[in-house]
Structure 1
Amino acid sequence: MSIVFAALGYLVAVIYHFYPSPFWLLFLLIAIQMRLICNLFDGMVAIEGGKLTPVGELFNDVPDRIADPIFILAAGLIAVCPFAMTLAWVAALLSILTAYVRVLGVSMGCPANFEGPMAKQHRMALLTITSLILLVSQSFSLWTEYFIYTMDVALATIIAGTLLTNWRRLKTIYRVKSQQSDSLTEGYHG
């Protein structure tokens, strides 16, 4: 369902791109929140409800890797600078890389690393806050000239934040693996 809500959010962004109205931003906000609720319920049912299965991680992780980039690309349609879609594509690809680095660490025997500053929940929170700022600004004609590039700034923030997040996660993987290597070496010589 999170993919369905992401697709609806993207459709709303396409409509907003051609017919800008705060009305469409409200629907984008709802779509983002519904996507997050789907993710929350998925985890609650699996863990709290005792419904964990061997393939559950597929149904937990794969939809996230599809839904998040769709919302980020939707943000590119709302942004106004000439290279907004380029920003959106870079941000979307970096968001996928962030998850890949986390999964790579786990596959190498490291604990799952969800640190930010621009993990999934941070990206979705930023898109939510940015959409809300644009909604209020446009609905009440408040400082619209100052907020016109708000979504562009949000995309640039996602790019900078995901670069830092990936760096931190890779550094953590390296540190954990180095410590494991050092303890193996000490055990061999001891």
Structure 2
Amino acid sequence: MSPRRALTIAVLAGMAAAGLGLYAATRVWTTVSRDRPGPLPAEVVDTTGGQLAPWAIPAAVVAVAGSVALVACTGWARRIVAVCVGLAGLGLTAAGGYGLSQAAGIWPVVTTVAGLAVLAVAAWTLRDGSAWPGMSGRYDRTEAAPSSAALADDPAALWDALDKGEDPTAFSIGQTAPGEECAR
């Protein structure tokens, strides 16, 4: 599998798993019926996963954001993001496990599975992420900008500067660029 494809799969899998965990944490995990005195009907109280385990929703949001951030990072930054994503996956797994101890239903199971999937993406990123590509440096400035005097003398140089993504108006005519000698 190519490194770019592996990065794409990791990002999409992390986002999908974290999104599923977020959805599952907002569903009703328990329903309790409380009897009330007299002619009052029984009170039905629904508890969502986010109410039962308050860290589940923030953990899922961190996992989604961290999965997206894997594209923008390389090297040590990508490893730090992968650790954060792994911790968020651990939080989702713990929330699902806690929900299973408190309630029976499908949503705590889904949250646990989503957390384990996020953990798997984080582990994969820690193992293979250093070989994955980062964002393109296409628009990064790699050479010094031409001096304003050179641009003023040659109108074609103005167009060439624009084609390279440089700002030919950065120095107005008559001013000197940093490092340029003033020849007066």
- Answer with 1 or 2: which has the greater Rg: 2
* TM-score bin, normalised by smaller chain: 0.3 to 0.5
**Higher relative strand content:** 2
Name the TM-score, length of structure 2 as normaliser.
0.33
**Higher relative helix content:** 1
